[in-house]
Structure formats: C-alpha cells, structure tokens
Structure 1
Amino acid sequence: MNAMNSQARGDNIRDMLLDAAGLSLDRLPMLHVIFDRVSTYCADGLRQLAASQCYYSMSHIENGRIGDVLEEYEGNAVVGVFHAPGWDSHVIVGFDRDFVFTMVEALFGSDGSEPPIDDERAFTNIELSICRALFEMVGKAMKESFSLVTDTTFKFERLETRLDFAVIGRRNNQSVVAKFLLQAINRGGEMFVMIPQSALTPMRQTLARAFTGDSSVRDATWVKQIQTEVQKTTVTLNAILESRKISLEEISNLKVGQVLQLSATPKTQVKLEGNNQPLFWCQLGQADGVYKLRIEDMVDREQEFYDDILSG
C-alpha cells in the first residue's frame, strides 16, 4: 500500500512539474496530425455552405497563457466556449474580425469584387448567428479529429464577444493554441483553438506517438453520393453454359443451319459474367416456362487466370 501511495505521489508531482513547465509541442506529433484534420474537416464543411471555394490551413501551434492569448484578440474576435465532457474541461474556439467578415460575404454569395469591410463596429445579430453555426461545425470537426486519440464530444455552450467573460480556467494557466488561416474571395482571416494544457497532459503519451496511418479525410456526403451513383450503373449480365476455342478456318466454314454439339449437360454449371468479368457459378433450371439461374458459388478469378494460361 505504501508503495502504491508513493507511486501515486510521484505521478502527481511529475504532472505538476509538467504543467508548470508547459508541454513540449515538438514531442507531440499527433497534435499536428489532429489539427491538420480539423482544417480539412472545416474546409469540407464550408464546401457545402459557400458557393466560392474556401481554403483552410493550419498555421502553427504554440503554448501560451490563457489570459495572454485572449488579451491578444480582445475587441477583435468572437469566441465560442465548448465543454469537453470526456476531458472534464472547456475549450475555446475563436474567429477574428477578418474571419467573420470574410465568411459572411462568402456565405452570402459575394465574389470579392467589393472592398473588404474595415470597421471596428460591434458584430451584428446576423454575423453572430453565422458564427454560432460555424462553431457547431468546428465542434464536430474537433470530435472527429480527436477521435484518433480520445473519444469525447465538444458541446457548444455559449458565444462571447467580451473575452474577459470567456473563462475556461485561471488566466495564468498554460494552454495549447492552434491557429488556422482562412482564405476565400481574395481575402481571409484567422481562427484559433485554445485547449488548457491540463486537458491534454493525461494524453501526452498518446499524443507523443507518431501516427503511421492515412490522415486524409473523406467527405462522407461525397462518398455516399458516389456510392449511390455507382449503384445506379447499368451492367450487362451474360450466362455462359459452355465456351470453346476454335480456329478462324472453322469459323469461316460455319453455315446457316449447322448444328454445334455441346459437351454441357443440364447439371453443368453456368458461369455468370458482368461486363465480361466472371462473377458467379450458377445452376441452370426452369420454372414458369422460362430458364432460371440459381447462384451457387463465387468465381475464383485467380484460378480462372491460371486455367486460361494452361489451356492457352
């Protein structure tokens, strides 16, 4: 028992030291993979909303104190506060003023011919409503991206324009901040994601592992549409009772009314082909005055290949 208590105290001391020193981002390669996925998911989501192309890219990841990061964007950003139940923590996602104005114009069909808005006014209700919808989209992107290392949701709780009300921990606590660039209609803006370091510390060993799989993201809507269209494709089926090879001379000697003898019997398996590709072995039968096929087995294409070589 004493040994277990000593180990627990040692783990707590190590965690406190890590919290004080800050996570070394160079030793957490999975964070870069995860935030790359966030940018890809966000770009895919905007593709379905905006008529013009919107480009998302991760700029960089850095450490910073919560208060210092929020002070940097004070009066120039809208932030969304998310609750991550699996981490027992909160996360902030923020859009700077240029990001908000660019997204509003892109979503309402602007082509970028008019000069960009350069105004320090308060955000309108329409702009804030669009931000709420975008925050929901980013929350889903975060959930999918972090699923590589943890299973948690990011529930959007509230929107804030005064960043001193965006409280997710003590202002002098360390955080990890990922910054993203948005480009659309010849202008752009910045989005940032701020996660308290205390939420990521328990996952540091998993985040330190290099991800060897494919980090590309598939657009689920696009994949579903492709599958639907492919399934509508018309395919010609041929039922082959017997096939044989004959010479060109034999073909030239064929005459109308000539009878060709087949070796096949009613028990001979019929090969079912689709677009000249062998698919199934079938049993020939008859019912209701028509011939019918009953599928019995799949064609072994590898064996068919070897048989063709031997017979050739």
Structure 2
Amino acid sequence: MGDDDFDDLLPNPPSMVAGADATFDQAGIDALFGFEESLAPVQKSGLKAVIESNVISHEKLPMLEVVCERMVRSFATNMRNLTSDAIDVNLEQISSTRFGEFMNRVSLPAMLGVFKVPEWENYGVVTVDSGLIYAVVDAFLGGRKGSNPVRIDGRAFTSIETSLVSRMVQLALDDFATAFEAIQPVKMELERVETSPRFAAIAGPSNLSAFATFRVDMEGRGGNFSILLPYATLEPVREKLLQRFMGEKMGRDRMWESHMAQSLFSTEVIVDVVLGEKHMRLQDVMGMQVGQTLGLNRGPDDPLEVHCGGISLGHAHIGQRCSNIAIRLATDISKGFSK
C-alpha cells in the first residue's frame, strides 16, 4: 500500500489542507484528529455556574476588622513574653472567599489547626505556613536571633514541632476569643492539627468563608498564618459584626443612651384635661356671649380624659390642692395610651 493509499484514508489529506509541501502546526494536527471540540472550554450553565462562579457577593463585616486589630496587639505582647524575642505582628488582609478555593491556595508543607467554637456549635481553621513553623520552633528552642532557620524539605513534621506550633496556635485562638468578648464571650478550642487540607475540610468547597491573614516577624525570620471562619460559623453573631462603629468603641453607645434618657425626663409636656364635649351648631357658637353657661353632663366625681397632643393618655379625677385646681390619675398612662 503506497502513500497515496494512506492519503485516501484521511478525512483531509495534507495536500488539501495546506499544500503538498506544507507542514502541520498544532492547530492542523488537532483539526486532523478531531481534537478541537474536546479542547474547547466547557460552558457552565444553571445552578452549577452560579455556585462555581469566581464572582463572590459577600457582606462586609466592619466589626470583624476591629476584632482582628485588637487580637494583633494582644497576640504580639503574649508572643514577646513567651519567646523573649522582638516580635512584630501585622494584619495583612481580611477578605472572603470560597472554602475550597482557600484550601487550594494553601502552600504545602503547612500545618492546619481545626478549632471548635462551642457557643456557635461550629468550626474554624488556622493555617500556618512553613516559614512561620520553622521560625516558631527555632524561637521556642532557643535558636540564635537574626539567623534564618534551616528548612528541611521532604520530611514530615515531628511531634515536637507539631506540639510547639499547636501551642502558638492555641495562644492566637485565646487572644482571638478575648477580642470577641466585646461582641459575644466565646471559647476557641484547638481540636487537632493536620498537614493535609483534605483532613481539615470543615465546610463544603463552595461555602463562603471569611479569613484574616497575619504576618509574624521575629528578628529576620517569620511567616504568615490565617484564621478562616465559614459564614455558617459566624451566623450567630452576623448582625453584631455588621454594626458600624466610631473609633474603637464597640457595641452600644451608653453615653448617648444616658444623655437621651436625661433629656426625655427633663422635657416639659403640656397635658390637657377635657372637662367634656358638646356638639353645637356653628350659628349657636357664633351667638355665644360672655357669662353664658354650657351644660357638659359631667358630675364632680366623674373621671375626665387626659389628652396630650390630641391623643388620649388616660383618665383622672379633678380636685384641689394648695388652692390650685389639680387632677389625680385614675388609670396608668401606658394603659390609656395603648387604647
């Protein structure tokens, strides 16, 4: 069988595609073997496209930034007392992402601490990168200041390294819980430390989560760690985290509450006592003269209506006190107002 016989078996012989002396490029080869459709991007539609969309619509949580800023100050102080090193802690980023996307970005080797918040009945994750792991181990074991720790790739973390990093993670969680006290008292308990993101899956890949990334520097050594909380975990305090704030004052403003209460109690209110009502023709009203008497069908002991701004507040009896006309309430103001 000759070359011409092979050309007859091909759907588009080379002489028909690009000339007799032309060579195939990658596009021509793909077209020859029918790979164009398989290489085309798959168009997602429907609910799957919405779930896997890169565009994330999330609520900003202003109070969460305040909590993280407070946590930075306390964590830096506690780490200095624990290691006797000059430690600087900075808040790098606060954002939202999908849980699966965050886990896929974790650079291995790393440690992932799964912690539980009993008051919220849910979990969170703390990720510690390798740079911070070796820096913490070196600092706790008395390494020389200013020297970069030796990083050994290709081996698993030892039990000593895991124990020392777990100590630092629990310290960070305690400071994070302390910063949350102004919003809601909580406890954050480290349950386990994993080295694979698959074993730290506490939520679905498409679940929205809020995370905060912190940078820890220890005299020329250090790294990053992140605290990730799914929105399902933050749901019990979502309304409080959405609150706006002035400066670093958190929660309710007691000063303005006290000022408003004092102002309301010292406000003068004009109260009208209705002795009676009578329907009259306009002609009779225009004909009224000085000294004319009107019958209101009210006795001395009958209760009178007390009005404020045209609204009935309750009933009272009329009398005299210290040569002045006075009234004594027969019903509570609140009960009369509700009617």
TM-score range, shorter chain: 0.5 to 0.7
Q: 2:228 aligns with which of 194, 198, 205?
A: 194
Query: Does the aligned pair in 2 maintain the 1:66–1:171 contact within 8 Å?
Result: yes
Q: Cα deviation per residue 1:104-136 (whole Å; 9 max; x = unaligned)?
A: 122223234444333323212211010111122
Q: Cα deviation per residue 1:23-56 (whole Å; 9 max; x = unaligned)?
A: 322xx21111101112222112111111211111
Query: Does the aligned pair in 1 maintain the 2:120–2:236 contact within 8 Å?
Result: no
Q: Which has the larger radius of gyration?
A: 2
Q: 1:24 aligns with which of 43, 59, 80?
A: 59
* Counterparts of 1:140 and 1:211, CA distance in 2: 24
| 1:60 correspondence with 2:96 | no
Q: 2:122 aligns with which of 64, 82, 89?
A: 89
The amino acid across from 1:184 in the alignment is M
Aligned position for 2:211:
177
Query: Does the aligned pair in 2 maintain the 1:82–1:155 contact within 8 Å?
Result: yes
Aligned position for 2:185:
151
Once the two structures are TM-superposed, the CA of residue 171 in structure 1 deviates from its matched residue by: 2.0
Q: 1:37 aligns with which of 64, 67, 70?
A: 70
Query: Percent identity at matched positions?
Result: 27
Gaps of 5+ in 2: 1-54, 251-339
| 1:108 correspondence with 2:136 | no
Query: Does the aligned pair in 2 maintain the 1:160–1:166 contact within 8 Å?
Result: yes
Query: Does the aligned pair in 1 maintain the 2:115–2:189 contact within 8 Å?
Result: yes
**Secondary structure, counterpart of 1:73 in structure 2:** coil
RMSD: 2.3
Query: Does the aligned pair in 2 maintain the 1:52–1:111 contact within 8 Å?
Result: no
The amino acid across from 1:132 in the alignment is S
Query: Does the aligned pair in 1 maintain the 2:99–2:206 contact within 8 Å?
Result: yes
Q: Cα deviation per residue 1:238-290 (whole Å; 9 max; x = unaligned)?
A: xxxxxxxxxxxxxxxxxxxxxxxxxxxxxxxxxxxxxxxxxxxxxxxxxxxxx
**Secondary structure, counterpart of 1:168 in structure 2:** coil
Query: Does the aligned pair in 2 maintain the 1:176–1:197 contact within 8 Å?
Result: yes
With 202-211 and 99-108 compared, the bigger mean Cα shift is at 202-211
**Secondary structure, counterpart of 2:83 in structure 1:** coil
Query: Does the aligned pair in 2 maintain the 1:83–1:90 contact within 8 Å?
Result: yes
Query: Does the aligned pair in 1 maintain the 2:62–2:243 contact within 8 Å?
Result: yes
1:119-268 map, 5 Å:
119-120=152-153, 121-212=155-246, 214=248
* Counterparts of 1:161 and 1:124, CA distance in 2: 11
TM-score by length of 1: 0.58
Q: 1:47 aligns with which of 80, 99, 118?
A: 80
* Counterparts of 2:146 and 2:117, CA distance in 1: 40
1:279-290 map, 5 Å:
none
Query: Does the aligned pair in 1 maintain the 2:209–2:229 contact within 8 Å?
Result: yes
The amino acid across from 2:59 in the alignment is S
Once the two structures are TM-superposed, the CA of residue 148 in structure 1 deviates from its matched residue by: 1.8
* Counterparts of 1:201 and 1:104, CA distance in 2: 35
Runs of 4 or more off by more than 4 Å in structure 1?
Answer: 213-216
Query: Does the aligned pair in 2 maintain the 1:80–1:159 contact within 8 Å?
Result: yes
* Counterparts of 1:103 and 1:24, CA distance in 2: 34
Query: Does the aligned pair in 2 maintain the 1:22–1:63 contact within 8 Å?
Result: no
**Secondary structure, counterpart of 1:106 in structure 2:** helix
Aligned position for 1:286:
none
* Counterparts of 1:148 and 1:178, CA distance in 2: 19
Once the two structures are TM-superposed, the CA of residue 60 in structure 1 deviates from its matched residue by: 0.8
Gaps of 5+ in 1: 1-19, 217-312
Once the two structures are TM-superposed, the CA of residue 170 in structure 1 deviates from its matched residue by: 1.1
Aligned position for 1:238:
none
Once the two structures are TM-superposed, the CA of residue 102 in structure 1 deviates from its matched residue by: 0.9
**Secondary structure, counterpart of 1:100 in structure 2:** helix
